[in-house]
Structure 1
């Protein structure tokens, strides 16, 4: 009886040891399954491949230019390479946002291409807007993430990156000037049969202006626009405070105003 019990105990120990070894083996074999595969490098490589494919079509298909099919084919050359990354996981969240924005810009261009023969004016507007966004993002991919292309496509990429830098610069200027306009709140006082609006404003845009002008939209208590007045400044340096004036011929002082930029010329620094 004792011999049988000893054999059973031995078998149990062997079985337990075998299970332990099996579990260790399984754990070792699946050690990499918990590691996340990020798409950062793969996206940049696919972006380069798609860009070169599109650029090649631009060079080869010049005779087809001027058709919906031509523009759709250009976009598809890139989109077919990068669209898969729209739902991919990236280690760099900023790169992921830029990748998604780039894919969306390509989709916007493709949608614009469909308007080429039916609404050409809208096509130009939508295509250019997406083009500007695309070139801004190419700037980011080149400067921050090391996007490179083969030598035969370098000149075209350089041209797009240069355009993207201009778009970024122009957008920065526009945002700064719109913020400046929003800070202008003229106070109106009556002078004889008209009203004069004055506002003390500091130029905090980071730019020196040779000249700048604003439209001052005047609204009554019912929020009906009753007049548009104008104010301007010349040789207005960054950090400088000036008093801006406008004149209204309305019978009553405006209830609310909205100031929007209408023209500006940034001074050239030597």
Structure 2
């Protein structure tokens, strides 16, 4: 009888041990099945890359501004963040911004190759990528808490400040372009030529010291016959005004294209 008890006890121990091993294996498998998100690692690498690039900038002199110099600046960041181009993020918006940031660096890398051969194109392409990069840095700081070492903080603040300006300028430009799209000119004959007129509401959210629109007139064959303009001064947000477009045409245009041609936002202070 005692021998039977020993056998049963041993069997129970085996069963429990097997169960524990099975559960441990399942737990390990579950851990392996969990996706490995790159959100936190990317933010850390982003900071490291920024700091590495800033260190190169601090060491540079005016005579260093060569193709190799600009390539080294970009590579200092790309070496840290490019690997996240195909990583999986928990935050899909962060992933989108990370890819956009990596692409802005690659655009700067391509621009750097033009430094010695086409400086004007280099400056244009570099600035375009720089503007995009700084707006994304602003996003990383504002929405994801990007931090860098104290020695690099002034540099980050400067770039974020530029990103804010770019974002503001882009918002203003989009609002003005939207306003241009609401202008519907109606042409009537006055003193043997045609004059266009439109009643327009400023719903942009901005007060304008002045705003100008270029008006291109086309005949029925799609030929541009004249370029004229629309002008408004001291146009407040929410205000509705009448805009007049004067032409030298003896016939009303078949089609009209209106684009913003300059403006100044009133000082909010």
Q: How many residues align?
A: 258
Structure 2 gap segments, 5+ residues each: 1-7
Q: Deviations over 1:65-118 (max 9, x none)?
A: 221100000000001100001111111111111100000000000000001111
What is the CA-CA distance between 1:62 and the residue it aligns to? 2.1
Rounded to whole Å, the distance in 1 between the matches of 2:33 and 2:96 is 24
Task: Indicate the SS of the match to 1:118.
Answer: coil
The verdict on how the C-alpha distance between 1:129 and 1:186 changes in structure 2, with shifts beyond 3 A counting, is same
What is the CA-CA distance between 1:63 and the residue it aligns to? 5.1
Q: Deviations over 1:116-167 (max 9, x none)?
A: 1111111100000000000000000011111111111111110000000000
CA RMSD, Structure 1 to Structure 2 (Å): 1.8
Rounded to whole Å, the distance in 2 between the matches of 1:264 and 1:232 is 10
The verdict on how the C-alpha distance between 1:25 and 1:145 changes in structure 2, with shifts beyond 3 A counting, is closer
8 Å CA contact retained: 1:197, 1:247: yes
The aligned counterpart of 1:266 is: 265
Rounded to whole Å, the distance in 2 between the matches of 1:101 and 1:40 is 15
Moved runs in structure 1, 4+ residues, more than 3 A?
16-25
The verdict on how the C-alpha distance between 1:246 and 1:119 changes in structure 2, with shifts beyond 3 A counting, is same
Rounded to whole Å, the distance in 2 between the matches of 1:85 and 1:139 is 19
The aligned counterpart of 2:206 is: 207
Rounded to whole Å, the distance in 1 between the matches of 2:64 and 2:194 is 57
The aligned counterpart of 2:55 is: 56
Task: Indicate the SS of the match to 2:32.
Answer: coil
TM value normalised by structure 2: 0.91
The aligned counterpart of 1:47 is: 46
What is the CA-CA distance between 1:20 and the residue it aligns to? 6.2
Q: Is 1:177 paired with 2:176?
A: yes
